[in-house]
Amino acid sequence: MVLNNLGVQECQSRMMRKCHVRFVGEGDAATYALLPDLKKEVEATPEPIEIKIDAGSKTTGIALVQGGKVIFGAELTHRGQAIKNSLESRKELRRGRRNRHTRYRQARFLNRTRSKGWLAPSLEHRVHTIVTWVRRLIKFAPIGLIKSELVRFDLQQCENPEISGIEYQQGTLAGYEIREYLLEKWNRKCSYCDAENVRLQIEHIHPKSKGGSNRISNLCLACEPCNIKKGTQDIKVFLAKKPDVLKKVLTQSKRPLKDAAAVNSTRWALFNALKTTGLPVATGSGGKTKFNRTRLGLTKTHWIDAACVGEVDVLEVLTDKPLLIKATGHGSRQMCRTDKFGLPSRYVPRFKFVKGFQTGDIVKAIVTTGKKIGTYVGRVAVRTSGSFNISASTLIQGISHKYCSTIFKKDGYSYVA
């Protein structure tokens, strides 16, 4: 029930009768929405929702699907590279200190053991972050199943138990895994002319007619004009007048796919971590995901890929754009910041909270006096003096804590709708 310009006395009387009144809008167009008693138990049983995950090394797609409809999408950006850089910086600083002419210290090496299933901190962070968001979504939605793109199933043998040999290469999904690998490796561009948004063909760098193999290191992507123009020529002859392109192609062909290695290293750790939620966990292959997305005519994004994981007959997307989530961390434990030489540059306050605020909180500041009159919404950087900096559309410095009110407490993530 919604009433416009509801009188104050009427609101109070309805609130006394245990109805909840919500204020919507401002000024003359004020609207009060009467909500039912929120303490009453809901007896209806909603249809279970599936959490679908397309795990990536840098960005993971998450989608909530209910009855063939995508009702929520999110893209979670990991901070694995930032963790790796921090660890390397710490290693270099420690090594520098140990190599100086200081007091003697017993050498330490080969005295550290790693438990079975150990993952690098940058990879372990990726697993923990995905599980954290799965557990958050379980709290707010009736989740019945988790589907994740982890392993490759032998789908052709499921349909034809007697399949063998070369027949594996002639199924519906033939070539999809290799194509996905090459698309990621060559950034979805023609290797010779950098053409984008065109049909790309698999090209043998060393021609197959002259002994070239089908190994991944001998494959690249080329648009149709470049592929026809190269023909059976040796790549050094074809790119004789383009030495820069020749060097780039030869270098790129030998480059390992770092992101694919990260996904392969963590897929089973993620699968086992998802099982700890107590919900059934199903898996699907990357080729099946791409097949579903292509068949349904959907765009290539992380959260759409997540919605296409596993068996999908029809899919209706009800949301326009995903929630962009970026892992920012909870700060550093360092008590003293250092410069690039490892020498102390400034000290960090022992207590992170100042006047009830912490760096990273989203606040709203309504300044009524002084040179900075206005309303500012953004993340705050606290100072022990009580004069804060707010990162709104621009950086606003010197805002007193008296004008600030908390909108959202820091939780280690940043959000863009």
Q: What pLDDT is recorded for position 33?
A: 45
Please give the structure tokens belonging to residue 40.
């009453």
Counting Cα atoms < 13 Å in the Cβ hemisphere of 108 gives 9
Per the listing, tokens 């699968």 go with 271
**Average pLDDT over every residue of 173-185:** 70
State yes or no: pLDDT of 382 exceeds 80.
yes
What pLDDT digit, counting tens, does each position of 311-352 carry?
Answer: 888 999 998 889 999 998 887 777 888 887 777 888 877 788
Domains and CATH numbers, the chain: 2-35 (no CATH), 49-80+120-155+266-327 (3.30.420.10), 173-254 (1.10.30), 344-411 (2.30.30)
| Strand pairing report for 20-24 and 31-35 | antiparallel
Higher pLDDT pick, 333 / 165? 333
Q: What pLDDT is recorded for position 20?
A: 43
Q: Which of 1-10, 91-100, 175-184, 257-266 has the lowest mean pLDDT?
A: 1-10
Q: What pLDDT is recorded for position 370?
A: 87
Per the listing, tokens 């290469």 go with 169
State yes or no: pLDDT of 163 exceeds 70.
no
Length of the chain, in residues? 417
DSSP 271-325: HHHHHTTSS-EEEE-HHHHHHHHHHHT----HHHHHHTSS--S--EE--SSPEEE
Q: Which of 30-34, 178-182, 243-247, 276-280 has the lowest mean pLDDT?
A: 30-34
Neighbours of 112 (CB within 10 A): 6
Q: How confident is the model at residue 208 (pLDDT cuts 50, 70, 90)?
A: confident
Give the residue ranges of DSSP H helices in 62-120.
80-99
Please give the structure tokens belonging to residue 350.
């022992």
Q: How confident is the model at residue 103 (pLDDT cuts 50, 70, 90)?
A: low
Whether the CB-CB separation of 286 and 152 falls below 8 Å is answered with: yes
Mean pLDDT for the chain overall: 80
What pLDDT digit, counting tens, does each position of 105-131 carry?
Answer: 666 666 677 888 888 899 999 999 999
Percent of the chain with pLDDT over 90: 31
**Average pLDDT over every residue of 203-228:** 86
Distance of CA 177 to the CA centre of its chain: 22
Longest dimension (CA), the chain: 90
Please give the structure tokens belonging to residue 75.
């893209």
Whether the CB-CB separation of 338 and 345 falls below 8 Å is answered with: yes
3-class DSSP assignment, residue 403: helix
Q: Give CA angle at 403 (402, 407), nearest 5°.
A: 110
State yes or no: pLDDT of 61 exceeds 70.
yes
Q: What pLDDT is recorded for position 165?
A: 55
